[in-house]
Amino acid sequence: MEAALIWEWVIKSLILIFIVLTGFAYTTYLERKELARMQVRIGPNRAGPWGLLQPVADGIKLIFKEELTPAEADRTLFFLAPIITVIPALVLMAVIPWGDTATLGGREVTLYLADLNVGILYLAAISSIAVYGIVLAGWSSNNKYATLGGLRSSAQMISYELAMGLSFVVVILLADSMSLLEIVKAQAGLWFVFIQPVGALVLFITLLAEVNRAPFDMPEAEQELVAGYHTEYSGMKFALFFMAEYGKMIVVSAILATLFFGGYLGPGVDRLPWLGPLYLGLKIFVALFVMIWIRATFPRIRYDRLMAFGWKVLLPLALALVFITALGIMLEQMWLVTVLSLIAGAVAALMVNRALRRKEYAR
């Protein structure tokens, strides 16, 4: 029985790794096609039907490209940094529930790898590790532009992870549990996004900053830092950074869907549990599309304003949302949570608009 359980864990782990690695390749394809459509271009259409083999062609190209290491770089850290960046994206998927239980060959199989009773703490801890790879990549390159990119990344992640952690607290209060499986089950009647919509928005913004996606891609701003922390990387080491970024896009989309959008829940999932992975996959796809849409729409934020937005807007707003959620639960009036959170979000938006107008007049 123990051998069968070990094999089950191994197979599930391989499936999750395959999902992230394959998903990374075709998320790049999705982004190029969607950006092309939004900008009235064609996008990749040469390699394979509709350009579907373009990620394969890019992978083959990167494998055969020459890998260069700067003469004055710290060779050990320069080599390890891309690996340290990729690993968290793979490890985070271990606690994401893709369903409850299903029957396969007469055996009850859980549609998740692990159900930790502190699953949210696991997410917060592992997601913080990724910054080490970026900082070490910048520092080990012995390049001032790369070092600045690494420093920017660390400052940005520390600033936005505070608001992200408070968004996690909102979910813990609503579900009365830190287990991701229990959080999904608590949304069987109503998704948390309808109870705390501003909390979902705050989490989405902080997750964008966490994966350095536009308009929060300051650590790799090409106008100022050439390419930021990966300026000196080439070949497969360069590809590993993009594998980490797009892999984390899939993972954070899964986290957002799990915490606020019902995870694997959907019509008929109680009778047909194999629909759970399909529903979660669709929600991840929608979140990825919105991330790409934002990249095509919003310009990059100036760095001082990016930091001010994290500390002066998102952090106080997230604190207010925690207080509002706790108040609504204590009074047993959940409609109060929705109304007060929307008011808090509107006040924050008005304050941002007022600050921007003041700066325009100051010119």
pTM, two decimal places: 0.91
Look at 106 and 287; give whichever has higher pLDDT: 287
| CB of 7 closer than 8 Å to CB of 36 | no
Q: What is the pLDDT of residue 361?
A: 63
Query: Mind listing the pLDDT tens digit for each residue in 334-362?
Result: 999 999 999 999 999 998 888 878 766 65
CA–CA distance, 81 with 136 (Å, rounded to integer): 6
Which amino acid type is present at position 116? Answer: L
Query: Mind listing the pLDDT tens digit for each residue in 232-252?
Result: 887 888 888 888 888 889 999
| CB of 136 closer than 8 Å to CB of 73 | no
| CB of 329 closer than 8 Å to CB of 173 | yes
- The model's confidence at residue 156, banded by pLDDT at 50, 70 and 90, is confident
Q: Which residues contact 134 (CB under 8 A, 6 or more apart)?
A: 81, 85, 149, 150, 153, 154, 212, 219, 229
Biggest distance spanned by C-alpha atoms of the chain: 72
Which neighbouring-strand residues pair with 108? 103
Residues present in the chain in total: 363
CA–CA distance, 59 with 67 (Å, rounded to integer): 14
Q: What percent of the chain is predicted at pLDDT more than 90? A: 34
Cα end-to-end span (Å), the chain: 72
SS3 of residue 320 by DSSP: helix
Structure token digits, residue 289: 């599309």
Q: How many CB atoms lie within 10 A of CB 362?
A: 6
Helix residue ranges, H only, 187-314: 192-195, 197-210, 222-225, 235-260, 275-297, 303-308
| CB of 21 closer than 8 Å to CB of 247 | yes
Strand extents, DSSP E, 56-207: 101-104, 107-110
Query: Mind listing the pLDDT tens digit for each residue in 33-50?
Result: 999 999 888 888 888 888
- The model's confidence at residue 200, banded by pLDDT at 50, 70 and 90, is very high
Backbone angles phi, psi at 101, to 5 degrees: -135, 150
Strand duo 101-104 + 107-110: pairing: antiparallel
SS3 of residue 288 by DSSP: helix
Query: Mind listing the pLDDT tens digit for each residue in 260-285?
Result: 999 999 898 888 888 999 999 999 99
pLDDT surpasses 80 at 1: no
SS3 of residue 101 by DSSP: strand
